[in-house]
């Protein structure tokens, strides 16, 4: 199963801080393909769709993940039970990190500080500190034969809604502050209460007028037709 696994990652290379950049910085994108059968990673220039480099890694590479800044590629080597780290500026392996047995999947956190590796053979997940390229903490036990791992971005514990909508996002606000929607709701409620009070007042006044009219009729009965003034 490992021999059939192929993973692709995109690396976006931009000038590093402190390095003179051209007047217009160009973003370059490359695809990194794990070749399980040949123990290499192919680098494809997505502008020309041609292979521009081939990088030797561990035995039977099964997956590759790129850091958010595009400077590093982490390759899970299934048959050598380690992870190769590639410098995408030079396309060379600059570190090899031992992990669990038969690593099959790898994913990088959105902030780029951690790499999570799914170990097919040991039924657990290794966590790599990308600053030191060392495994930190005890392996995380999962189900049998894990083959992949993915990172979800959460906002206060709630997944973001679809593009253009924000139904599930919760935003923490300082104590004592009110959101615009809350203020609008409070204003709308106040207006509704004012209308209800006004309607009750109008109804009461109308009833009072009816009572006064009835009293007036009893005090001053209408004259019969043909006998005005009586």
192, pLDDT greater than 80? no
Residue 152 domain-assigned (yes or no): no
pLDDT beyond 50 at 224: no
Cα(76)–Cα(34) distance, integer angstroms: 9
Q: Give domain status of residue 79, yes or no.
A: yes
Q: With respect to residue 65, please indicate whether it lies within any of the assigned structural domains.
A: yes
Taking a C-beta distance cutoff of 8 angstroms, is the pair 99, 121 a contact? Answer: no
The reply to whether 33 and 136 lie within a common domain is yes
Could you tell me if 97 and 199 lie in one domain? Answer: no
Determine, yes or no, domain membership for 58.
yes
Q: What is the pLDDT of residue 28?
A: 78
Say which residue, 18 or 95, is predicted with more confidence. Answer: 95
pTM of the model: 0.62
* Same-domain pairing of 192 and 136: no
What mean pLDDT, rounded, does the chain reach? Answer: 75
Do 9 and 121 have their domain in common?
yes
**Percent of the chain at pLDDT above 70?**
55
The residue range of the domain holding 183 is 173-217
Name the domain count of the chain.
2
Residue 70 lies inside a defined structural domain of this protein: yes
Residues 33, 98 share a domain = yes
Q: What pLDDT digit, counting tens, does each position of 27-74 carry?
A: 779 999 999 999 999 999 999 999 999 999 999 999 999 999 999 999
Residue bearing the bigger pLDDT, 71 or 166: 71
pLDDT at 30: 96
The model's pLDDT over 73-120, given as tens digits with 9 standing for 90+, comes to: 999 999 999 999 999 999 999 999 999 999 999 999 999 999 999 999
d(CA 127, CA 136): 6
């Amino acid at each position: 199963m490992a021999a059939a696994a192929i993973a692709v990652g995109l690396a976006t290379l931009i000038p590093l801080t402190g390095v003179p950049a051209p007047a217009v910085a160009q973003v370059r994108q490359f695809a990194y393909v794990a070749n399980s059968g040949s123990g290499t990673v192919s680098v494809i220039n997505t502008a020309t769709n041609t292979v521009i480099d081939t990088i030797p890694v561990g035995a039977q590479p099964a997956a590759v993940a790129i850091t958010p800044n595009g400077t590093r590629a982490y390759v899970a080597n299934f048959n050598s039970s380690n992870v190769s780290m590639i410098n995408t500026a030079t396309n060379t392996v600059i570190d090899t990190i031992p992990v669990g047995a038969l690593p099959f999947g790898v994913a990088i956190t959105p902030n780029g500080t951690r790499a999570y590796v799914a170990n097919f053979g040991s039924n657990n997940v290794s966590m790599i500190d990308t600053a030191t390229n060392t495994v930190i903490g005890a392996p995380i036990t999962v189900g049998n034969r894990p083959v992949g791992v993915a990172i979800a971005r959460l906002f206060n514990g709630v997944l973001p809604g679809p593009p253009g909508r924000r139904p599930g996002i919760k935003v923490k606000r300082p104590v004592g502050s009110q959101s615009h929607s809350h203020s609008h709701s409070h204003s709308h409620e106040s207006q509704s209460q004012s209308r209800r009070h006004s309607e009750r007042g109008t109804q009461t006044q109308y009833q009072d007028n009816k009572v006064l009219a009835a009293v007036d009729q009893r005090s001053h009965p209408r004259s019969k037709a043909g006998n005005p003034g009586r």
